[in-house]
Chains A and B, each alone.
Chain A
């Protein structure tokens, strides 16, 4: 079935460091891919998404490119800030049959950024 494998955390970085969080997926057809972020004590909110191959989602300095050939959707940011400390979830949304519209999440990656 559809699934997401996400880089295990936690990840600890200094401010202004480069961030990569790896995400790969397994799915039939052409899913949409998402990164959600969860700040401490809050619910999840959409960070970015890409709905077809080679699309690049971007928001708040974060980017991720939908790579069908490698079934990946890695999250990157060139210079992290303390305020980026959160848990990041990669997710896919199925587009056929019983998976239609359902979100499948990775296990989450805790990011801590130190000043």
Chain B
């Protein structure tokens, strides 16, 4: 089944404790992206990647890191999480990122709480 998977689905952590949220897709998509969803703000893009070893900042990159060493994986790293990073996070992928007509496929989401 074609899908985007994220792990963990739920995470409660404390301020300053490094964490990684994994994202993997099995559709051979070139483009991958991370979003955060907050009430009243919709989805905002954190980082995106057009292909392996190519990443770029979205609209809200502060406090996050990403890497794209393999085509299928795009982990989101919070080196020193803070309470304002408490949010619902979505990973997404699409076939070819530079086509504006592409549909993005979303993972099920990771709900992160930073105490």
- Interface residues, chain A, with chain B CB atoms under 8 Å away: 6, 31-32, 34, 36, 42-46, 49, 51, 89, 93-95, 100-103, 105-108
Q: Which A-B residue pairs are the 7 nearest by beta carbons? A: A95-B100, A43-B106, A107-B42, A93-B100, A101-B97, A105-B42, A105-B43
Query: 8 Å CB contacts to A: which residues of B82-110?
Result: 90, 92, 94, 96-109
Of the listed residues B48, B104, B105, the one surrounded by the most CB atoms of chain A closer than 10 A to its CB is B104
Give the shortest distance, in Å, between B58 (CB) and chain A (any CB).
7
Give the shortest distance, in Å, between A2 (CB) and chain B (any CB).
10
- Interface residues, chain B, with chain A CB atoms under 8 Å away: 4, 31, 33, 35, 40-45, 48, 50, 58, 90, 92, 94, 96-109
In the bound assembly, the distance between CA atoms of A105 and B43 in angstroms comes to: 6
Q: Is the CB of B101 within 8 A of A93?
A: yes
Q: Is the CB of A89 within 8 A of B42?
A: yes
Contact of B102 among A43, A101, A106, A107 (CB under 8 A): A101
Q: List the A side residues contacting B40 at CB < 8 Å.
A: 107
Give the shortest distance, in Å, between A4 (CB) and chain B (any CB).
8
Give the shortest distance, in Å, between A78 (CB) and chain B (any CB).
24
Of the listed residues A44, A89, A93, the one surrounded by the most CB atoms of chain B closer than 10 A to its CB is A44
